[in-house]
Amino acid sequence: MLTKSPTFQVDPTEPFKEDYLNRKKIAEYLTGLIDTCDEPFVLAIDAGWGRGKTTFINQWRAALNIDEYPCLYFNAWKNDFVDDPLVSLIGEFEAAINLRNSDPTSKLAEYLRATKSIGGAIVRSSIPMALKVLASSVIGGGVLGAEALGSVLERVATEQIEQYDTQKRTLESFRENVESVADELSGSSEKPLVFFVDELDRCRPTYAVELLERLKHLFSVKGIVFVLALDKGQLAHSVKALYGNGFDAIGYLRRFIDLEFDLPDPEPGLYTNFLYGIFGLEAFFTEHTADGAAYARNQFLEAFSMLAAVFGLGLRDQEQCFTRISLIFRTINPREQIHPILLATLLVLRMADTDLYDGYLSGRIGTEELKKRISTDAIGRAFMEGNYGAALEAFLEVGLADREEMERLRQFWESRAKAADVSERDQRRIPVYLEVLGKLERSRPTVATWLAEKIEFTDNFQ
């Protein structure tokens, strides 16, 4: 799939300057929430793949930094090559704190060194005791007989009992040092340390589950608020991959999460307008549309944002559609005319429902069925009743027509316009149909097939 697009950079001085998803108010609300947390707290930001979780937490984190909240960021997916998540957690913990504090004699540095030292002991103690003892026996040579095996198991039991208190004290000491680090970072402000964990749902199942366990048992201390950006449904699949399909994965995840927040999708059109700008499509529309950039832009943006909402395209899916549009414009003759509303429709169908896309292009699915599918949503129904909807209906009807079929449609619509029983609705829409037909007569027949070829050609770009 195509993934390259202009990268959105969060301005650290004005993180919501480009609030194209209208999420500043959400960040302000959640900041007020974490301000009330006196105890260890875990907040999950739940949204599906490509719905803008990472962008949101980066904006929110920058806003918190401006307000002098201590913040740490951990990308779980980039660190799941490590066997024990505690190793990567402490490594990121140290790297982020060292950026804030370069004094090796400070209390913060002292607490951090203690945290690393104790964390190392915890990692080493995580190796099963039976494995350690059996390994030493094998290394010593010989085959374990029944008597020797009994002796080994006795040693395992004895050492586990003896080490229980030691391990318990080690864990308590680790949490105490983590809490001291959080206190030092907060200083006199008493603001909590906000620890963001991103991309958890993309990790391999064992790492994701072990990371949650480590956070719950080792980092759950006063003064730290964890914010987990995740797709709960996908993470539940990871849990079931470990414990079986019958396992209550959602219930299991609730053990680690105190509160969930469903990140809402942006209003239709907000993100579409943002992508149109950062991809610089205005110049291309001016060059490739016969009716002028302003009309073509509005028609395209209205159609694309409506169809993206109706077919449930995520933010990343929409980005990929715009990447394809940019490539199409860059790889065709400047004299070729692009019909934006039909291009938008074919792009969304190709991304969201290949059966509808293929069915329309093959003639298996007609215009009426496509209209019915679009009109299942209130946004789609409202769009289809307007002038742009009439234009889309006409483009779908004429998009596969050759010259002979175009002439037949012209005669039919002109005849309907003069009929005594023509409805008020048809009186409004037939002029739009004839206008679209005239555009296609002046450009090329079977324009939908031509546009589909351009769309499918972009599959070759990676």
Residue 401 has pLDDT above 80, yes or no: yes
Amino acid at 265: D
Amino acid at 76: A
Is 287 found in the same domain as 434?
A: yes
Asked whether residue 398 is domain-assigned, the answer is yes
Is 275 found in the same domain as 255?
A: no
Asked whether residue 14 is domain-assigned, the answer is no
Give the pLDDT confidence of 114-148 residue by residue, as tens digits.
666 665 555 555 544 343 434 444 444 444 455 55
Asked whether residue 236 is domain-assigned, the answer is yes
Give me the half-sphere count of Cα atoms (radius 13 Å) on the Cβ side of residue 200: 32
Mean pLDDT of 184-210: 87
Is 285 found in the same domain as 248?
A: no
Q: At 418, list the tokens.
A: 């003069």
Is 235 found in the same domain as 179?
A: yes
Which of 42-56, 291-305, 391-405, 419-433 shows the lowest per-residue confidence on average (mean pLDDT)? Answer: 291-305
Is 71 found in the same domain as 158?
A: yes
Ranges 1-10, 213-222, 343-352, most confident: 343-352
Residue 108 has pLDDT above 50, yes or no: yes
Check which CATH number belongs to the domain holding 229 and give it.
3.40.50
Mean pLDDT of 406-429: 90
Amino acid at 194: V
pTM of the shown model: 0.72
Is 206 found in the same domain as 91?
A: yes
User: What pLDDT score was predicted for residue 331?
Assistant: 81
Asked whether residue 18 is domain-assigned, the answer is no
Give the pLDDT confidence of 166-182 residue by residue, as tens digits.
666 777 777 787 788 77
Asked whether residue 13 is domain-assigned, the answer is no
Asked whether residue 163 is domain-assigned, the answer is yes
Asked whether residue 167 is domain-assigned, the answer is yes
pLDDT class of 420 with cuts at 50, 70, 90: confident
If phi > 0 it is left, if psi is from -120 to 50 it is alpha, else beta; for residue 461 that is beta
pLDDT class of 404 with cuts at 50, 70, 90: very high
pLDDT class of 5 with cuts at 50, 70, 90: low
Give the pLDDT confidence of 244-286 residue by residue, as tens digits.
999 999 999 999 999 999 999 888 788 898 888 888 888 777 7
Is 352 found in the same domain as 286?
A: yes
Mean pLDDT of 182-206: 86
Is 366 found in the same domain as 291?
A: yes
Task: From 209, 242, 262, give the residue that closes a domain.
Answer: 262
Asked whether residue 15 is domain-assigned, the answer is no
Mean pLDDT of 311-317: 89
Give the pLDDT confidence of 355-373 residue by residue, as tens digits.
999 999 999 999 999 999 9
Is 275 found in the same domain as 158?
A: no
User: What pLDDT score was predicted for residue 136?
Assistant: 42
In whole angstroms, give the CA distance from residue 261 to residue 255. Answer: 16
Average pLDDT along the chain: 82
* Residue 236 lies in domain: 24-262
In whole angstroms, give the CA distance from residue 372 to residue 381. Answer: 9
User: What pLDDT score was predicted for residue 154?
Assistant: 53
Number of domains in the chain: 2
DSSP state string for 93-128:
HHHHHHHH---TTSHHHHHHHHHHHHHHHHHHHTS-
Task: From 218, 239, 262, give the residue that closes a domain.
Answer: 262
Task: From 262, 282, 310, give the residue that closes a domain.
Answer: 262
Is 274 found in the same domain as 258?
A: no
Higher pLDDT, 298 or 350: 350
Our CA angle for 233, 230, 13, nearest 5°, is 155
Coil, strand or helix at 107:
helix
Q: At 102, list the tokens.
A: 């370069």
Mean pLDDT of 50-69: 92
Is 359 found in the same domain as 217?
A: no
Is 328 found in the same domain as 396?
A: yes
User: What pLDDT score was predicted for residue 316?
Assistant: 86
